[in-house]
Amino acid sequence: MNKIKIAIIGATGFTGLDLTHYLAKHPRIKIVKLCATKNLGKNIFFFDKRIKKNLPKITSIKKINWNDLDLVFLSLPNGEAQKIIKKTFNRYKHLKYIDLSADFRLSSPSIYFKNYKKKHIAKKLLKFSLYSISEFNKKKIKNFRIISNPGCYPTSIQIPLLPLIKSNLIDINNITIDSKSGYSGAGKSFKKKFKHRNLFSSTYAYGVKNHRHTSEIDQEIKKITKKRVVYTFNPHLIPTFRGMLSSIYLNTKKKIKPEQIRSFLIKYYKNSKFIKITKLNEQIGSGDVLNTNLCKISICKTRIKNKFIIFSAIDNLVKGAAGQAIQNMNIMFGFKENIGLND
C-alpha cells in the first residue's frame, strides 16, 4: 500500500504524543519528521513509553524537506501554526495541513484577536480552511488543504447539541452547559495557567463570563440557524489527567419526549462509527471513553416536566484533539474513517 508521508510539529506536547502514538501504528502512514523546539536529538519514547516503534528522532522544523511531505500535523500554541502555513502554503501546493490550535477555527480575524489577543497574519488563507468536526464534514474535507481541528469542549458540546438545534426539537432560549475536563487540556504549561490551590485534588471553575471556546460554538450555531440561541457555558478543571464530560440542560418543545430526542440522535448518527448513544437514563462518565475516539451520549429525564439532560463524554486528548485530527485525515485521504483508531 502507498503510504502518505507526514510530519508532526509539536510532537512532545500532550496532544503531539497522542498523535504520534496513534499514527505510529497507522498502516497508511509514514512518519518522516517529529519536530519540537526542545530536546532535539532525543527519541520520542523518552516522553511516552507507549510508543514502541522506531521513529525519527526529534528535530527542528528547519530540518524539514517540505517537498517530501504530503501532510503536516501542527500541534502548537495559538499563533504559531499560521506562521508556518503562511510560509509554505503557496510554495508547496501539494501540501495539506491539520491544525490543532485555534488559528484557523474562527472565520473572523477580529473575533480571533478578541479571544486570543493575537493578530492573525494569514487572513487570506482562512478561505482555504475548514473547521471540522469529522461527523459533520465527511463530504467537504477533501476539498480543503487546511483542516482546523475543533477545541475539545466544543466537540463534546456540538456533537449532541447542533443536530437538535437544527431539527427544532428543543427550546433554544435557555440552554445550560456545564463541562468538566482533565488538566491535560491546558497543555504542559497547565501549572502556569491554573494556579489555584490544591490543583491535583480539587475541582475548579473558570472562564465564567466568556471562555475562548464560546466563540467557536457561536460561529457553528450561526451556520445552521438564524434564530438566536441563548445558552450559558461554564468549564471546570478536574483533578484527572484526561477525560471530559459535558452536561447539557435542555427543555423540549411541547409534546416532545426524551425518547424522541434519543431516537432522533440514533438515526442522525447511524453511520458514525465513533458516536455511541446509550439507553435512556444511563449514567455515564469520562471513564467510559478514555483512550478512545468515542463520543458517548446519554439522554436523561429529570424531575421537571419537559426538562432533560444530555451527558456527552469524550477523551479530550483523543476525540477532543489527536483522534479527531486523525479521523479528519482518514476522510481527507479516502481511508476508512476508523483506521488507526480502533484501540
Nearest to 126 by CA among 180, 81, 93, 95: 81
End-to-end CA distance of the chain: 22
Beta bridge partners of 97: 72, 146
Q: Which of 35, 152, 295, 300 is catalytic?
A: 152
CB 203 within 8 A of CB 237: yes
Q: Specify whether the backbone of 291 is left (phi greater than 0), alpha (psi in -120 to 50) or beta.
A: left
Nearest to 293 by CA among 21, 77, 36: 21
* Max CA pair span of the chain: 63
Rounded to whole angstroms, how far apart are CA atoms 80 and 65? Answer: 19
295 an active-site residue? no
**Residues whose CB falls within 8 Å of the CB of residue 12, separated by 6 or more in sequence, listed in order:** 36, 38, 39, 44, 47, 58
The residues assigned a catalytic role are 152
